[in-house]
A = this chain, B = another copy of it.
């Protein structure tokens, strides 16, 4: 048997293991320092009450013969798809029920969607980037072209018409930079994709952090996007489902390439290689859209947004450049004095016991940048940013 040799082209990622090692070594020699982690990309607030109630109720159903559920539809139960549909409706995006596919998370679908595409496609990926976009394409042996996201374009790169791309990744609000495209900018991307007969893979996992009414939460708020874009979203950040696992993917019926409907292909892929998300989890996810659910998740989101404001206010006071912090849980700051991001990591750790993520871990354009996140507690975030202010004032 011949293995998929493309796996040999993957770089080992040492980012988070190196961070963990450095933190461990420092704390062993400095037991008196309280280390505060602002590097984590994981939620910390518990599931809201409405979701907990729905989960318990679904568990009860599974324990009684009359209400027990076996195999469900691979693409998700209608009760959840209808709730998602209504949520899009509120943002003036009209979808058909069969365009929505419930998943166990955006990461799974962002990887698995590549099954639908030929190996011989050129992939356009911004740098810096969520490493999964890169690795999943290396695994398939596709050619990747990087596009610079940097200070000059506000970390919101626009298409270069001299570059031909077939598969385009856009994440907005962005991980790691926190930058958010406006409708006009996304519209240029949509036009470029249609002109090049390309598909846009739009990662909207952080859409619930958008407060600015003028910024799009969905790419389908942009005209013609249904002709070129697949959208991936998740309950992970919206409702704290990182450990509960549920998301959804929208594959519009208008997406037709080489006489093939991507919607029909994805349905076939999912019915063949997936058996749907746990009924219990889908019931929990649907409670997110209830009136109480919406109120309760807003409290959690507001908590993280307040942390983001604590961080961005401190950077504002210090005159340190950054993107994100508004409409995003991530703050992407320029290392003072043009420091290398790993040197800056060491400085923060050893001087003030703060852990963040060096931008170099996300690509070349991150080598003088640093990512802070808003997912720790308010108290610790405040304490961390006081120490930060004292160091750089």
Measuring CB to CB, which residues of chain A are less than 8 angstroms from any residue of chain B?
A: 1-5, 7-8, 10, 42-47, 49, 52, 55-56, 59-60, 62-65, 68-72, 104-105, 107-108, 110-112, 115-118, 120-121, 132, 135-136, 139, 166-167, 197-199, 240, 242-245, 257-258, 260, 262, 265, 268-269, 272-281
Contact = CB atoms under 8 A, between A and B. Distances in A.
A27 to B, nearest CB: 21
Contacts of A107: 273-275
A73 B231 CA distance: 26
5 nearest CB pairs, A to B: A111-B273, A42-B70, A2-B118, A69-B243, A52-B63
7 contacts: A2-B118, A3-B117, A4-B116, A4-B118, A46-B63, A47-B68, A244-B280
Contacts of A104: 104, 274-275, 277-278
A99 B350 CA distance: 38
Contacts of A166: 1-2
Contacts of A198: 1
A46 B59 contact: no
A62 to B, nearest CB: 5
Contacts of A272: 111, 132, 135-136, 139
Given A117-B1, A274-B108, A275-B245, A55 B65 contact: no
A22 to B, nearest CB: 21
A43 B5 CA distance: 40
A45 B68 CA distance: 7
Most central of A3, A244, A277 by chain B CB within 10 Å? A3
Contacts of A245: 275-278
Given A59-B56, A65-B45, A280-B280, A242 B70 contact: yes
Contacts of A105: 275
A139 B260 CA distance: 14
A101 to B, nearest CB: 14
Contact of A46 (B1, B65, B115, B258): B65
A115 B4 contact: yes
A47 B62 contact: yes
B52 A59 contact: yes
A304 to B, nearest CB: 13
B59 A265 contact: no
Nearest to A106: B275
B262 A3 contact: yes
A121 B280 CA distance: 39
Nearest to A168: B1
Given A107-B275, A167-B1, A245-B276, A68 B42 contact: no
Contacts of A64: 46
